[in-house]
């Protein structure tokens, strides 16, 4: 269904604009309301929304005529048969693509910046329609997502609130080196827009380049990756002084750092120097779990990657080849083991899918995998709301439905605390007081 900007009925402005009009006020009647994830849900409730923010929360289905300062003709949105909860947060997406394997390699040389921009806009709308009102985009090579972030914030485009990391920073021959495995002519083309970091001064410069572009976060890769097109393994690929230079420089500019790391050595080096989050974390051990807890960093499991791998291989057994295929089979077999250990130990966990490897618009598939590997539905929802907001530094803005918070909310037909898969079928989406899925 095509998103709709708003169903709030506009009325004429009063003389001098001294009083609020009906278009400024909305009441949402919820059959059940999980306004504070991590705490018990409420029964029948009413949310009062004004100017894109929650003004108050009331028990029962309250009418405007019983509320002071709310116009009698305020709009009413009926979700009395549904379960309402805060808009969801995906802390790891890549909006510019939905491709993988050989298809993604071909696209590197057949698509241009305009193609990526349209793709990012489409994927942003899919993501919002799926109930994810905020995302952290962790890397693209042409900065189109930064432009999309700004367009959405200005009301020029539809999509979730975006916090963007610009171009991910990698060592030469590291995971985010787009020229891996290519001949010299193609490598030169692929490297345009990439951000490489070799040595302390180079790493400092790489961070400063991203800050100059206006990024919200810094993304670095300390280990090899599953999709890296060389057999360099999944161990550490940056030296200690390089990681320190990257994170210290980001901290100097007030930016948090998200770290791609599969191997335990890459996880440890990231946590020792102050990473805010570790993405994937596939091979963590007791030492890294202890350091997660000591540092307070978040773990973002990105389990959904295996869905993308499985589906592409089912459609085309040659979608991945060679070393990449071997790593994919390993990743499928080992997925969830680190989450079980980290969750049992009390590591802070935030929801993130790596959408782009998996499919945009199906971000909620991650919930099912999180529960399969040890989390309760309530904990998985908390990871995608309260915890995600904390990681992103937006705990006073999003992640719950309370007075002063953004009016980001979704509704589903069933009880997600009993069956988390109900979040795969979001029936209603509001972001900042505007309705996108009625």
Superfamily of domain 88-391: Metal-dependent hydrolases (3.20.20.140)
Total length of the chain: 438
> Measuring CA to CA, how many Å separate 253 from each of 160, 171, 221, 257, 296?
25, 21, 19, 11, 20
Q: What is the number of alpha carbons within 13 Å of residue 92 lying toward its C-beta? A: 28
Tell me the per-residue pLDDT of 300-315, one tens digit each, with 9 for 90 and over: 999 999 999 899 999 9
d(CA 386, CA 291): 22
CB atoms within 10 A of CB 202: 17
Question: Whose CA is closest to 190, among 229, 217, 223, 163?
Answer: 229
Cβ-contact 93, 86 below 8 angstroms: no
Average pLDDT value for residue range 96-125: 77
* Between residues 16 and 23, the one the model is more confident about: 23
Cβ-contact 151, 200 below 8 angstroms: no
Strands 409-412 and 75-86: antiparallel
Superfamily of domain 15-87+399-437: Urease, subunit C, domain 1 (2.30.40.10)
* φ, ψ for residue 281, nearest 5 deg: 55, 40
Does 255 score more than 90 pLDDT? Answer: yes
Average pLDDT, the chain: 89
d(CA 33, CA 42): 5
The pLDDT value recorded for residue 5 is 32
* φ, ψ for residue 322, nearest 5 deg: 55, -135
Does 413 score more than 60 pLDDT? Answer: yes
What are the DSSP E strand ranges found in 138-261? 161-164, 169-170, 195-196, 217-221, 256-261
d(CA 7, CA 25): 12
Report CA 189 to chain centroid distance, whole Å. Answer: 29
| Sheet strand arrangement including 277-280 | 195-196, 169-170, 217-221, 256-261, 277-280, 298-300, 348-349
Task: Return the minimum-mean-pLDDT range out of 132-141, 180-189, 212-221, 349-358.
Answer: 180-189
Helix (H, G, I), strand (E, B) or coil at 49: strand
Residue 228 confidence class, pLDDT cut points 50, 70, 90? confident
Cβ-contact 189, 153 below 8 angstroms: no
The pLDDT value recorded for residue 319 is 85
* φ, ψ for residue 406, nearest 5 deg: -60, 140
List CB contacts of 11: < 8 A, sequence separation 6 or more.
Answer: 21, 22, 23, 73
The pLDDT value recorded for residue 13 is 30
Q: Where are the domains of the chain?
A: 15-87+399-437, 88-391
With pLDDT > 90 as the criterion, what percentage of the chain qualifies? 75
Cβ-contact 21, 11 below 8 angstroms: yes
Residue 115 confidence class, pLDDT cut points 50, 70, 90? confident
Residue 174 confidence class, pLDDT cut points 50, 70, 90? confident
d(CA 159, CA 276): 25
Tokens of 195: 């951000």
d(CA 299, CA 258): 10
Residue 224 confidence class, pLDDT cut points 50, 70, 90? confident
Does 144 score more than 60 pLDDT? Answer: yes
Cβ-contact 234, 222 below 8 angstroms: no
The pLDDT value recorded for residue 22 is 42
d(CA 328, CA 313): 10
Cβ-contact 190, 182 below 8 angstroms: yes
Q: Hey, which residues does 170 pair with through a beta bridge? A: 196
Average pLDDT value for residue range 20-31: 78
Tell me the per-residue pLDDT of 319-351, one tens digit each, with 9 for 90 and over: 888 888 888 999 999 999 999 999 999 999 999
Does 11 score more than 70 pLDDT? Answer: no
Tell me the per-residue pLDDT of 370-401, one tens digit each, with 9 for 90 and over: 999 999 999 999 999 999 999 999 999 999 99
Does 113 score more than 90 pLDDT? Answer: no
DSSP one-letter string for 52-65: TEEEEEEES---GG
């Amino acid at each position: 269904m095509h998103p709709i900007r708003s169903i709030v009925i506009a009325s004429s402005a009063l003389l001098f604009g001294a009083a609020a009009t009906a278009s400024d006020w909305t009441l949402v009647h919820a059959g059940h309301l999980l306004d504070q994830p991590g705490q018990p849900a409420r029964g029948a409730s009413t949310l009062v929304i004004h100017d894109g923010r929650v003004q108050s929360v009331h028990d029962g289905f309250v009418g405007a005529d019983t509320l002071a300062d709310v116009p009698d003709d305020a709009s009413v949105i009926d979700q009395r048969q549904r379960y309402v909860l805060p808009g969801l947060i995906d802390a790891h997406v890549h909006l510019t693509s939905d491709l993988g394997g050989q298809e993604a390699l071909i696209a590197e040389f057949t698509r241009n910046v305009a193609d990526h921009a349209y793709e990012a806009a489409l994927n942003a709308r899919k993501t919002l329609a799926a109930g994810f009102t905020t995302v952290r985009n962790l890397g693209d090579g042409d900065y189109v997502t930064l432009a999309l972030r700004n367009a959405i914030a200005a009301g020029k485009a539809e999509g979730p609130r975006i916090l963007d990391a610009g171009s991910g920073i990698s060592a030469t021959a590291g995971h985010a080196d787009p020229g891996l495995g290519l001949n010299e002519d193609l490598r030169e083309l692929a490297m345009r827009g990439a951000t490489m970091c070799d040595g302390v001064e180079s790493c400092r410069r790489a961070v400063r380049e991203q800050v100059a572009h206006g990024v919200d976060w810094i993304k670095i890769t300390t280990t090899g990756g599953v999709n890296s097109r060389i057999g360099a393994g999944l161990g550490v690929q940056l030296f200690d002084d390089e990681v320190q230079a990257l994170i210290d420089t980001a901290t100097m500019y007030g930016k948090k750092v998200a770290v791609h790391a599969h191997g335990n050595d890459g996880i440890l080096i990231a946590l020792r120097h102050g990473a805010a989050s570790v993405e994937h974390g596939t091979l963590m051990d007791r030492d890294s779990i202890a350091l997660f807890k000591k540092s307070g960093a978040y773990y973002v499991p990105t389990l959904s990657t295996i869905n993308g791998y499985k589906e592409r291989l089912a459609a085309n057994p040659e979608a991945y080849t060679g070393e990449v295929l071997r790593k994919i089979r390993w990743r499928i077999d080992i997925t969830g083991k680190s989450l079980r250990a980290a969750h049992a130990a009390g590591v802070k966990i935030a929801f993130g899918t790596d959408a782009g490897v998996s499919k945009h618009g199906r971000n909620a598939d991650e919930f099912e995998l999180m529960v399969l590997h040890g989390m309760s539905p309530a904990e998985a929802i908390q990871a995608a709301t309260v915890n995600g907001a904390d990681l992103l530094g937006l705990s006073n803005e999003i992640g719950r439905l309370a007075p002063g918070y953004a009016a980001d909310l979704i509704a589903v037909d069933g009880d997600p605390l009993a069956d988390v898969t109900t979040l795969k079928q979001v029936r209603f989406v509001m972001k900042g007081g505007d309705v996108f899925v009625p």
